[in-house]
Structure 1
Amino acid sequence: MARNTAADAQEVNARLAEEYPDARCELDFENPLQLTVATLLSAQTTDERVNQVTPELFRRYPTAADYAQARRGDVEEIIRPLGFQRSKAGHLIGMGETLVAQFGGEVPCAVEDLTQLPGVGRKTALVVRGNAFDLPGITVDTHVTRLSHRLGLSDASTPLAIERDLNAQIPEAERTLFSHRVILHGRRVCTARSPRCGECVLADICPSSTNPRTDADE
């Protein structure tokens, strides 16, 4: 039976930390440039598929200057399996050009600088900051939005407003990992359709749960 009170964000974080002790960014990367590229490519596809094409891309284009000088058709061919290859190739080449022209070929860490790169919005910027530079931040994707609403942690309708609500509840050092944990839980248990409330470690504190767990379920 649904309840009317919001879950406690730090309790949510603690339980998900125990449930997903290895939660991390699931995109493969070795440096900030690679993560920026992989995150750009992850739109409208899965991290698993991105990881299948990035080894060749990273081999062919190891620096920002390489992307700036790349032939669009060559980039499109490599990333074609991900879909939207024309727009994504344009973003990668534009990213390289902007990094070379404005940032000495290096990926910056400030949100206002990252969002100057073609195709990079606040969500991508926070992914790069949190995982490549260890500068914590909450990344609000569809999973974080859905779970924040279901758990009563935010009733805001925009990603920025949801981020602000969650920032007020989650300690700064935990914000990047909190995002990963919530995303994993959204993918595996609290899905958009037919959430598996009977299997959920948050069921007894979730105001949206349709099948709260009890001690007898343990």
Structure 2
Amino acid sequence: MTDSSTPCWKKPPESAALAGVWRGRWPHLLLACLLWFVACLPGEVRAQSGASITQMQVERTPEGMLLSAALAFELPEHVEDALLKGITMHFVLQAQVLRERWYWSDLEMAHSARYLRLSYQPLTRRWRLHTSSTPFTGSGLGLALSQTYDDLAEAINAMQRIARWKIADAGQVPEDMPVTVQMRFGLDMSQLPRPLQIGAFGRSGWNLQMTQSLRLAGGGAP
């Protein structure tokens, strides 16, 4: 007589089966957790997403391209608190004129920047806003224009209005060339004192950034 045996399938251990289920489902569970986290963020965090550029207009004139715009935003809580404690805040307004290229990234035809420095003077209880076309340095304010305001609302209102800002010289961008003007405004975190830079990283109470683009056909028509 000859003995024979047939290999039999063994049921994997229950722990191995569960591990297989988790491996297949964990990406979906992670996504669900992230969505729940965003939904549960405090109202102050979500409210900052309402900051926007509400109006934007570009004129092509004999002297160059002029940009006018209106911004809508409130200072984040931590930014206003720091100002009241005597810490100066810096903001940057930037504009790029881009020509679209199908074979490569967009070509920058012109770039302009405006730098704003907002501070509170506790002794006089007044607000001072400096505006410059060059970055502020530790050695001084350079050729910055200065304006004083009685309250923060007036200073913010001045920051929110951009009137006929020259963003490109005449001839720098051909008049018949279709271009896109991209505008950005936000808090310059790199100008914060070092301890605040570390503490503010990734915290919504310091977040203030907005971007808007405007497409111009040849001749300047949007």
Q: TM-score range by the shorter chain?
A: under 0.3
- Which structure has the greater CA radius of gyration? 2
TM-score, normalization by structure 1 = 0.23
Of structures 1 and 2, the one scoring higher in RCO (CA 8 A, sep 6+) is: 1
Instruction: State TM-score, norm by structure 2.
Output: 0.23
